[in-house]
Amino acid sequence: MKVAVAQLNPVVGDVEGNLKKAVETLSRFEGKADLLIFPELFLAGYPPRDLLKRPSFIRKVQSALDRLVEVSGEFPRTGIVIGAPVSTGKDEGAGLYNSAFLMCEGEVLAVQHKSLLPTYDVFDETRYFDPAPEIHVTPFRDQVLGISICEDAWNDPALWPTRLYSFDPIKALAKNGATLLINISASPFHLGKEQVRFGLISKHAKRYGIPFVYVNQVGGNDDLIFDGSSLCIDGEGNAVEIFPSFEETVGILDPAARGNPNLQPEDDDIESLRKALVLGIRDYARKCGFSKVVIGLSGGIDSAVTCCLAAEALGSSNVLGVSMPSPYTTTESRALSKKLAGNLGIEFEEIFISEMYRSYVESLKGHLGLTGDEVDVTLENIQARIRGNVLMAISNRFGHLVLSTGNKSEIAVGYCTLYGDLSGGLAAISDVPKTMVYKLAEHINRNGEIILAEIIRRPPSAELKPDQKDQDTLPPYEVLDSMLHQYVEEGLSAREIIELGFDPETVNWVARAVKRNEYKRKQVPPGLKVTTKAFGTGRRMPIAARYED
């Protein structure tokens, strides 16, 4: 049996557009494949979040599903597996199933609901769905299909400190006689996820001796990025096909073919990170209706990396870089910003904010008790907020999306200004630690210098007061990022991090800073998730709280 894998990029809520994409794909591949497989909740787009609470939206999805069943009658040689939400028809529970539909020749041959509903990290599926009351296999052509949905394949004890579910859908499908396992998925990316998924699906296939076809969504939706990386694994656990990451593709394969033990996911972490961020920026802008972006260029590495990613995502002609010198901006910073813009071929403007800043200070000094020339945090933040206002004015006037440029390390400890450098529509690198920003810069330069060496080498500085350096306030970034990884992503307490050999005073400062700045992070623009634990929907910490750890 020939199978076509439709690794596609739906738009959340655009039911008609997603249906059109499904029908166009079916028309292209009808007769070339016996079965065409789309990702999880494809007709709704993933994640639909509280759209699922709107009856009109569910009716629209059901109408599209009915239409696709009709269309399948026009293309009788190819069956379809596609994901959509469907009403349970019950007056208890959440009222919806997350379902996979098998249809062919104008009929629905089988419906399999999702059994395992994740509620960790970015997932909140019990808010919307009820679990499948049963699981079954379905004969189709010369195979018996065992269809599952995303999390149904993830109940592997090796992945979890404690097992999350008592039921294993893949084991049940194998036991019930499946000869081909299929998983339709909308599995968000984080660094290393491709290798984890590959190992998971390979283990399932080898354990049960059954070929496994895994179809994952691709694209960016809000803070989540979906890498695709769809797979076909033979019954010995070897890859028959690995589909490209971070791009739409439809390919035909034979699940009965023998795999290649040397075929493995190719991208390293930094290349995956670059692709993920480019895709995330591109889709966030386009799906939200923006064609151009504006970025504040400081002459530093964060804005340089963000600008490079944006130029790749949207094209250089759609990026505006703005340098906003204050009284404390060095000549070098101005020159480096201009040179970077020239290297990228983007539009560039220089808007001086010194007069605006002096006007602020003059107007406020009596009210704030300002005396002398000392620049305290209040005056530093005024400069940052002027810059935020300038960028937002450009956004308002010309319709550009403002990309903020703060990295995860700064945002974690609050080394950023609310309504200043945190202003914007998308925080492009807010989940990228500073040390990884440097690695990303070097990777961007892999085929020639785009980000100038001077930008990479120079000590980081906000340049909001004379001779300011980040390391005057923060621990060295190598130390800070190691601590933050343990505290934020691994969930260790300050005491446990100290026991790993870190300096107690520094650890306690970092832990306090992370907790103290929770209120800032609640007001940061949506940020693209690329690590296992990002600040955003997957980390729900209280603001008005008092606790020690």
3-state secondary structure of 507: helix
pLDDT on residue 159: 81
Q: Which of 176, 122, 115, 119 is nearest to 150 (CA)?
A: 115
The kind and range of the H/E element at 344 are: helix 331-344
Query: Over 70: is that where the pLDDT of 86 sits?
Result: yes
- Mean pLDDT score across all residues of the chain: 95
3.30.300.30, 3.60.110.10, 3.40.640.10, 1.10.357.10: CATH of 3-258: 3.60.110.10
pTM: 0.95
pLDDT tens-digit profile of 468-501?
677 778 899 999 999 999 999 999 999 999 999 9
The share of the chain scoring above pLDDT 70, in percent, equals 99
**What pLDDT, on the 0 to 100 scale, is given for residue 308?**
98
Nearest to 243 by CA among 225, 217, 220: 217
* Residue 178 to residue 169: CA distance in whole angstroms: 12
Residues 410-468 have pLDDT tens digits of: 999 999 999 999 999 999 999 999 999 999 999 999 999 999 999 999 887 776 777 76
Q: Is the pLDDT of residue 176 over 70?
A: yes
- What does the pLDDT read at residue 324? 96
* Domain boundaries of the chain, sorted by first residue: 3-258, 274-466
**pLDDT number for residue 409:** 97
Nearest CA-CA partner of 212 in 182, 238, 242, 186: 182
Mark whether 104 is an active-site residue: no
Predicted local distance difference test score (pLDDT) of residue 472: 75
pLDDT of residue 399: 96
**Residue tagged active-site, from 21, 104, 125, 150:** 150
Give the mean model confidence (pLDDT) for residues 236-255. Answer: 96
Average pLDDT for 198-226:
97
User: Is 274-466 the same fold as 3-258?
Assistant: no
Say what the pLDDT of residue 459 is.
82
- Average pLDDT value for residue range 56-79: 97
The yes-or-no verdict on residue 358 having pLDDT over 90 is yes
Euclidean distance between CA atoms 229 and 302, whole angstroms: 28
- What's the pLDDT tens digit per position in 116-172? 999 999 999 999 999 999 999 999 999 999 999 999 999 988 887 778 888 999 999
- pLDDT at 463 (0 to 100): 66
What pLDDT score does 31 carry? 87
Distance CA 178, CA 182 (A): 10
Region 515-520 average pLDDT: 95
Q: What percent of the chain has pLDDT over 90?
A: 90
Q: DSSP secondary-structure letter at 372? A: S
Mean per-residue pLDDT, 323-350: 95
Q: Name the band, by pLDDT with cuts 50, 70 and 90, for residue 371.
A: confident
Q: Which residue has the tokens 């800073």?
A: 513
114 is known as an active-site residue: yes
Active-site residue among 21, 114, 292, 515? 114
Which of 21, 58, 77 minimizes the C-alpha distance to 217? 21
| CATH for 274-466 (3.40.50.300, 4.10.780.10, 3.40.50.2300, 3.40.50.620) | 3.40.50.620
Burial class of residue 381, CB neighbours in 10 A (0-12, 13-18, 19+)? middle
pLDDT above 80 for 77: yes
Dist. CA 248–CA 6, nearest whole Å = 8
Residue 79 in this model has a pLDDT that exceeds 90: yes
DSSP letter for 492, please: -
Give the whole-angstrom CA distance, residue 460 versus residue 439: 15
- To the query of whether residue 490 is one of the catalytic residues in this protein, the response is no
Does 223 have pLDDT greater than 90? Answer: yes
